Amino acid sequence: MTEEKPKRSINLNIDHSEPGFYSDSVSIIFNPSKFILDFKQSTPRMDSIQGKEQETIAVKHKTMLIDARFAKSFVETFKKAVDNYEKKFGKIELPKKPREKKKEEETVTSTEESYIG
């Protein structure tokens, strides 16, 4: 006859004290054991400093460190979420990257006469 183990109950407390964070940029670095995601929010504004208008860019950031295995799982889960989003709301169009200006060919001038023939 097997003994029944008593059921455990676990209380879960979710901390909602931090407000949501809107990010418009992210930097990602990694080492062998973890990924470091630095989410940034940039807000341009005009400040009046000693009577002169000065443009200021306020930057807030939140950093998240995640295990390398979790990062792999997160990417797969996030891809599925983006795919489902696009099925429901349409394809997400990324802004086109600005074209790089072609470098003008460098003109070499010489005082020596040369023959091309």
- 104 falls within a domain: no
Higher pLDDT, 100 or 77: 77
- 100 falls within a domain: no
44: containing domain:
25-88
- 38 falls within a domain: yes
- 69 falls within a domain: yes
Total domain count, the chain? 1
Show Cβ contacts of residue 28 under 8 Å, excluding neighbours closer than 6 positions: 35, 36, 37, 38
Contact 31, 11 (CB under 8 A): no
Return the H-helix or E-strand segment holding 89.
helix 68-89
pLDDT digits (tens, 9 = 90+) for 82-100: 999 999 999 999 888 877 7
Residue 12: predicted pLDDT: 82
CA dihedral sign of residues 71, 74, 76, 79: negative
Residue 99: predicted pLDDT: 76
Residue 34: what are its φ and ψ, rounded to 5°?
-150, 160
- 62 falls within a domain: yes
pLDDT digits (tens, 9 = 90+) for 26-42: 999 999 999 999 999 98
Query: DSSP letters along 18-82, please?
Result: SPP---SEEEEEE-SSEEEEEEEEEEEEEEEETTEEEEEEEEEEEEEEEEHHHHHHHHHHHHHHH
- 1 falls within a domain: no
**pTM score, whole prediction:** 0.60
User: Which residue, chain included where needed, has tokens 């349409």?
Assistant: 90
- 15 falls within a domain: no
